[in-house]
Copies of this chain bind each other. A is one copy, B any other.
Amino acid sequence: MNFDIAMERLKSEGFKRTPSREAILRLLEREDRYLSAGDVRKALADQHPKMSQDTVYRNLSSFSEMKILEETELGGERKFRMHCNRHGHHHHFICMECGRTEELDVCPMEQVSRALPSFVIDDHKFEVYGQCPDCRTAG
């Protein structure tokens, strides 16, 4: 997903095009990794010093609900990144130093479904944490 497609999605769902939303989505497109609401605020402090917390949180949540963003919870914080749609379903490796992510194709949910036939499965989370090659050589 990129900025333009995200803005189209907003329009089609009846959301207004505002400077705040543009700035948040442009940032997330550029960064291409998980950012917290605080990260977003700091990154936009120069260009949008008056953007309130409320605006950041509310928009990140809205974007996540309408699948423009992917969301996870890490270290006690909600984090968001532009939704990748190269493949359909996927999971991520997340570098704990720089936040870089790498898409993973493996997902064991078919096996799980077979193993739990009488359970209703609504959701699942699979994430791998570590150090990316760049941070490893830098460290």
Q: Report B-chain residues with C-beta under 8 Å of the C-beta of A131.
A: 119-120, 122
Is A136 an interface position by the 8 A CB rule? yes
Binds B, one of A22-30, A31-39, A79-87, A106-114: A106-114
In the assembled complex, A133 has its CB within 8 A of some CB on chain B: yes
Q: Chain B: which residue is nearest A78 at the CB level?
A: B76
Q: In the bound complex, do residue A112 and residue B124 qualify as a contact, i.e. CB atoms below 8 Å apart? A: no
Most buried by B among A76, A107, A128, A132: A128
Give the total of A residues in contact with B, Cβ under 8 Å.
34
Closest to A136 in B: B120
Q: CB-CB < 8 A to A76: which residues of B?
A: 73, 76, 78
A74-100 interface bits toward B, Cβ cutoff 8 Å, 1 = contact, 0 = none: 001010000000000000010110000
Whether B126 lies near A130 (C-beta < 8 A) is no
Which of B96, B107, B119 is close to A93, meaning CB atoms less than 8 Å apart?
B119
Q: Does A121 contact B (CB under 8 A)?
A: yes
Residues of B contacting A93 in the complex (Cβ-Cβ under 8 angstroms): 112, 116, 119, 121
